[in-house]
Amino acid sequence: MKSRAIFLDRDGTLMDEVNFCRDPRDVRAIPGAAELLAEAREQGWKIIVITNQSGIGRGIISLPEYEAVHAELLRQLNHQVDGAYYCPDVPPNVTLRRKPEPGMLLEAAGDFDIELTRSVMIGDKNIDIECGRRVGARTFLVRTGYGKNTDDSAADHIVDDVAEALRLVLKS
């Protein structure tokens, strides 16, 4: 049987929103996320980070800076992440990997043998929600990051933060 996954946006969802975060000292994981991700993994969920990173494509963030920020987030999450995918595309020149397109989810589904319709997508922007909807995943909009300014989301659930979203996923 294929795995199910919790796909998570990074900036504004798993960690505080920092515009084009390039310094690991600015990384602040959302409280409670690490423990709930560990519980989800114990229940058999794959944990996959899916993040647009146009700052790389724009030359604002170097690849080593991105990797250092990612490493610090993983440390703060007690390494409870199975995989991470990023897209450096800069609009309007984008590929099918840039959210809301589902390319990164499809790539992860192939890499980890994931059944997308049994999975969830958690993010703070409508592009995260649209990305999840395009593959039939259940969607959660968090009210952290850009989500606090979003009132017209098509998400299946709108919650305060990633910890609340994970609690709901683990109950279902």
Counted residue by residue, the chain has a size of 172
Total domain count, the chain: 1
Task: Note the pLDDT tens digit of each residue in 10-47.
Answer: 999 999 999 999 999 999 999 999 999 999 999 999 99
AA identity, residue 62:
S
CA dist 30 → 10, 16, 97, 149, 152 (Å): 10, 7, 26, 18, 23
What range does the domain containing 41 cover?
4-171
Task: Note the pLDDT tens digit of each residue in 55-110.
Answer: 999 999 999 999 999 999 999 999 999 999 999 999 999 999 999 999 999 999 99
> In the chain, pLDDT over 70 holds for what percent of residues?
100
CATH of the domain at 26: 3.40.50.1000
Which residues, in sequence order, are CB contacts of 114 under 8 Å at separation 6+?
2, 3, 4, 5, 46, 48, 108
Query: Which residues are identified as catalytic?
Result: 9, 11
CA atoms within 13 A on the CB side of 5: 32
Average pLDDT in the chain: 97
